Amino acid sequence: MSSKINHHHQNDKTNGQIFPQPCPHLADFHARNGTKPFRAIQDCLHIKPPGGRAAIRRDSSEVPRCGVCGDSSCPRLYACMACAAVSCHVPPHSSHVAIHATKTSSACSHEIAVDVDRAELFCCACRDQVYDRDFDAAVVLAHTTSIIQSSKPENLRKRRRIDYRPWSPDLRERSLMVNNASPIDSMSSSNGDLPRGLRGLNNLGNTCFMNSVLQALFHTPPLRNYFLSDRHNRYYCQSKNGVRLCLACDLDTMFSAIFCGDRMPYSPAKFLYSWWRHASNLASYEQQDAHEFFISMLDGIHEKVEKDQHKPRRNGDCCIAHRVFSGILRSDVMCMACGFTSTTFDPCVDFSLDLEPNQGSSMKTSSTKTNHSCNCEADGMNSSQNCGISTLMGCLDRFTRPERLGSDQKFFCQQCQVRQESLKQMSIRKLPLVSCFHIKRFEHSSVRKMSRKVDRYLQFPLSLDMAPYLSSSILRSRFGNRFFPFDGDESNTLNEPSSEFELFAVVTHTGKLDAGHYVTYLRLSNKWYKCDDAWITEVNENTVRAAQGYMMFYVQKMLYYKASEKQGTS
């Protein structure tokens, strides 16, 4: 085996990235060659469209060969940083690059080399890859000079932060609170162990699509806090002067009803009527799509609020619906001929993910496991593809994977000035407070004039880290293993919300496309409750895991109440 040299690399964290300390040879190289020894390499790099892989620039007909053995077919060839001699590295057979390193003298160090095909640094003495900020900066600069960057859109300017000011009530406010409030402990104890805010919703005629989404919204932490803290008061709401309807007022009514402690099932008739007036095309007693209802409802809350307060739609500050659910998607379209990239930013209120055929089917491994009995969860690795299960993270991978646009969808490239075939890649520029993942289970084909439902099971985690799907991560992986801060990283990572999310509600669908039923599972104090129209029961976590997820709601971890905190107390 290759001789292992013990690296005492300490890792230090900068900007949330672990940055390894340079090996002694790299440090020596820096010492010998001035402050920016790698900047000159920028001119030697060639960025290959469309993916943007960096490699050492060479004539297209030139064949790189090892200077010692003449081999041109070995997969790793390294060019010495000092003398540009190319050597091969084929452990454990031979490493001519290591031999080359021995030429190091006091005058010149031949220990640092660069991979000819990948533009990555290698220390010949340590026989391992090394990383250097200055080198990565040169790679990024080589990229940016070959790509014309689009101007930063307005909605990404940093928001002004307000200083935190503590508050405690004065005597008058205190007496106001005491006189107008009733203690809640007495009410909750008489209703067994069910937490507050659990109340069944009567089905008013195929309205399970509405009930299921409403149950999820009632327990969306930032939304619940907004309405329960009287931020939208239905008695004082100005939009109701006249006969204009306000969905937010009806929602406020429902929040009060749901959290008042009464356990009898509630009938959301007034809200249904208001919603019908807002979305008249969906007003019928037919079964509707829960996701469509969700979007329509957010739109309704936004519309009515914006009309009054004339707040511009910027950074999602226009209304509570957008403040909670709105994120920003980044779309990059790269020309496959010249590499020119066009970037656009679009707001989104949810993520609609495709449930495509199993990747597992093309990778037959020796173990064949059935869907539900697979113990992939225990491994903690992303080995689910071996078992052939679709997972939420798999869907997100697919969502952010570069996709080749077909020859019938050629994109007009500004650099080439003609329509070219392109590569499109999505990533998330800004995460919302609450992420709603909608799984596209209902396929409507206008070509074949038929619709069908995809029943395949999807595995979803209780905790989700969205970091790999952020624009900063996607961009970083496009450039290879670099440590240079990127366009996506510009905002201070301390002030930005984290990327860790917790699951709190799952809307499931059972049955056929036209004759099905929606049910919501809610996670409160680490217990799961099934909300099936008017019936609420506590269920086992495994029941939820085995259910057919249609919409999954995740909230930022810092907004999620831990199981140890009892609601209504402290």
Partner 1 sequence: MRNSVNRPPTPDAVEDQEKEPTLQEIINIKMIESGEKEKLMELLRERLVECGWKDEMKALCRAYIKKKGTNNVTVDDLVHVITPKGRASIPDSIKTELLLRIRAFLASAAL
Q: What are the residues binding partner 1 (CB under 8 A)?
A: 1-2, 4-9, 11, 48, 51, 60-61, 63, 70, 72-73, 91-92, 122, 126-129, 359-360, 362-363, 365, 381-383, 385-386, 397, 401, 404
Shortest reach from residue 5's CB to partner 1, in Å: 8
Q: List the 112-115 sheet strands across, edge first.
A: 94-95, 86-90, 77-80, 112-115, 121-123, 128-129
Pick the closer one to partner 1 by CB: 127 or 527. Answer: 127
As given in the structure block, the two tokens for residue 64 are: 């790189």
- Residue whose CB is less far from partner 1, 51 or 222: 51
H/E stretch holding 115: strand 112-115
Q: How far apart are CA 267 and CA 204, in angstroms?
A: 7
What are the tokens at 403? 């996709």
**Contact assessment for residue 395 and residue 354, using Cβ atoms and an 8 Å cutoff:** yes
Q: Which class for 190: exposed (0-12), middle (13-18), buried (19 or more C-beta within 10 A)? A: exposed
- The answer to whether 338 is a known catalytic residue is no
Contact 537, 521 (CB under 8 A): no
Of the pair 48, 277, the CB lying nearest partner 1 is at 48
User: Given the structure tokens 């007003």, which residue do they identify?
Assistant: 283
- How many CA atoms are closer than 13 Å to the CA of 56, on its beta-carbon side? 22
Both structure tokens of 118: 């990948």
Q: Which member of 7, 30, 46, 517 is catalytic? A: 517
Structure tokens at 333: 């379209």
Query: What are the backbone angles phi and psi of residue 343, rounded to the nearest 5°?
Result: -115, 135
Known active-site residue 126: no
Q: Minimum distance from CB of 362 to partner 1 (Å)?
A: 5
Distance from CA of residue 494 to its chain's centroid? 18
Nearest partner of 509 among 279, 304, 276, 209, judged by Cα: 209
- Do 459 and 493 meet the contact criterion of CB atoms below 8 Å apart? no
- Minimum Å distance from CB 437 to partner 1? 20
Contact between 475 and 341 under an 8 Å Cβ cutoff? The reply is no
Catalytic residue among 208, 249, 413, 531: 208
Q: Which is nearer to partner 1, 308 or 397 (CB)?
A: 397
* Tokens linked to 491: 């905002």
DSSP string covering 139-179 = HHHHHHHHSPPPPPPGGGSPPPPPPP------HHHHHHHHH
Contact predicate 87/78, CB 8 Å: yes
What tokens does 362 get? 């093309």
Whole-angstrom distance, CA of residue 222 vs CA of residue 403: 35
For residues 94 and 69, the answer to whether their CB atoms sit within 8 Å is: yes
Residue with tokens 């060659």: 33
Give the whole-angstrom CA distance, residue 508 versus residue 213. 10
Task: Please state the three-class secondary structure of 478-532 as a single string.
Answer: HCCCCCCCCHHHCCCCCCCCCCEEEEEEEEEEEECCCCEEEEEEEEECCEEEEEE
The catalytic residues are 208, 517
